[in-house]
Amino acid sequence: MSAEANLAILIGYFLVLMLISWFAGRDADEKSFYHGNKKSPWFLVAFGMIGASLSGVTFISIPGWVEASHFGYMQTVFGYMIGYMVIAWVLLPLYYRLRLTSIYTYLEQRYGDYGYKTGAAYFIISRVVGASFRLFLVAEVLHMAIFDHFGLAYWMTVAITILLIFTYTTKSGIKTVVYTDVFQTSFMILAVLLTIAFIANALGLDFSGMVERLKSDPNTQIFHMDWKSGNFFWKQFIGGAFIALVMTGLDQDMMQKNLSIKNIGSAQKNIYAQMVMFIVVNLVFLCLGALLYQYKAHMGIDGVEQTDKLFPIIALKYGGPLVGLFFILGLVAAAYSSADSALTALTTSFCVDFLGFERTKPTNKRTRRIVHFSFALVLFLTIIIFNGLNNDAVIKQLFTAAGFTYGPLLGLFFFGILTKIQIKDIWIVPITIISIGLTWLYYAYSPTWIDGYKPGFELILINGLLTFGMLYLARETKHTQTI
């Protein structure tokens, strides 16, 4: 497809997003930005959160992983279900009972100001790096497919991309994001289904033939029992449970949507519906991956050494105009459904957790919009830094390091929930920093300690346990004097 056609598609796409934003924000007030006036339909939140849980990275990476890890990712997805149940039964009742706007307010009530600000700061760091990394990858695709053709510099592509997100989220925040997520999740799923249909047709398969072909494909193996492998079942399953628990249940970005639902019962329905859809959607993504490799072999496609490029190359070069169109839309939707909610959550966390809005003082629209624009600028600058590094290994290490900051949140929340032990609030900062450092040492050096061992998703659990253990060691003890 031509750059002009891609630009027309992108403009049309964002005009629809702006229309949705206008529709959702017609009767919005300032509180709509933070919790949508508690009127979000649970079934729309559930469907939209599928897209928000994924990203542009996931959209192109999960199908590419199939050759190396087969369907092993489903082991992690099954683990997610345990995490979601804990969110539904433990965390959501806690958040609704305390009537939280920012979930990190709980840390203030449990520990004090140091614990509160530490938890919120770790979220902000994680989300800035994570959202920037995802947008960085998509901005590269958009620059190559559209803006480079018109002579625009890369920084201008990034600026346009972020400005569009800022524009449709700045007025009503989470109230808009709930509806735009539904729109964008639909395009993601349509892109995958159309590509599957194209490949099945090219291979001469009807639906039953495609199912039989997948069943006989060695790439569809789900369970892996080599304990040294990063793909080991229990490592993936347990890691998946804690990833869902931390990156959904302890993440303001994800929980802000849940807390925009009117009551705890409906919010729990949202989680149950999301569980079912998440299994189905990820299985469809993996089936696409297996079919992509079958199509690659069938067509004799060579020169695709990076697995992340397999889906884009087949969709854009072989799939025809319709598949190419929906691939571009699906990729943009995957990235933007993650980025728009991240920008909204970052603004909410800073305004509530650091400025005291909705907590100790009334919200101020002008200040909130300045914060919203400031975080858009921070994302822009971080992406430019990523591009300046021009080193995939360094960028991916930064992205991995950002994931480590969720481990202390796991330890802080569950030490608070599971125990009544009091600690000196000031100890929380050094404890969480030491926990991250020790986890990084494990990640970096465990392959040399155990020959052939590969660290995996257990990192968050190790990080959380280290934080939990050090909090226990730092507990306050009451000393009594005997006379």
Enumerate the domain spans of the chain.
3-394
Q: What are phi and psi of 230, to 5 degrees?
A: -65, -10
CA 395, CA 409: separation in Å to the nearest integer? 23
Assign 216 to helix, strand or coil.
coil
CATH no. of 3-394: 1.20.1730.10
Regions of the chain where pLDDT drops below 50: 479-483
Residues 156, 163: Cα–Cα separation, whole Å: 10
What are the Cα distances from residue 464, in Å, to 146, 242, 287?
43, 9, 33
Question: For residue range 355-378, what is the model confidence (pLDDT) as tens digits?
Answer: 998 777 888 889 999 999 999 999
Q: Which residue has the tokens 């347990």?
A: 238
Strand partners, 361: 357
Distance in angstroms between the alpha carbons of the first and the last residue of the chain: 88
Q: Cα–Cα distance between 235 and 238 in angstroms, integer? A: 6
Residue 466 vs residues 403, 408, 443, 471: alpha-carbon distances, Å: 15, 8, 14, 9
pLDDT of residue 81: 93
Alpha-carbon distance of 251 to 395, in angstroms, equals 22
Tokens 């990640």 belong to which residue? 443
Distance separating alpha carbons of residues 154 and 430, to the nearest angstrom: 39
Tell me the per-residue pLDDT of 67-100, one tens digit each, with 9 for 90 and over.
Answer: 777 888 888 889 999 999 999 999 999 999 999 9
| DSSP letter assigned to residue 90 | I
User: DSSP of 36-68, one letter per residue?
Assistant: GGG---HHHHHHHHHHHHS-HHHHHHHHHHHHH
CB-facing half-sphere around the CA of 453: CA atoms within 13 A? 14
Task: Look up tokens 């009972």; give the residue.
Answer: 97
Helix (H, G, I), strand (E, B) or coil at 462: helix
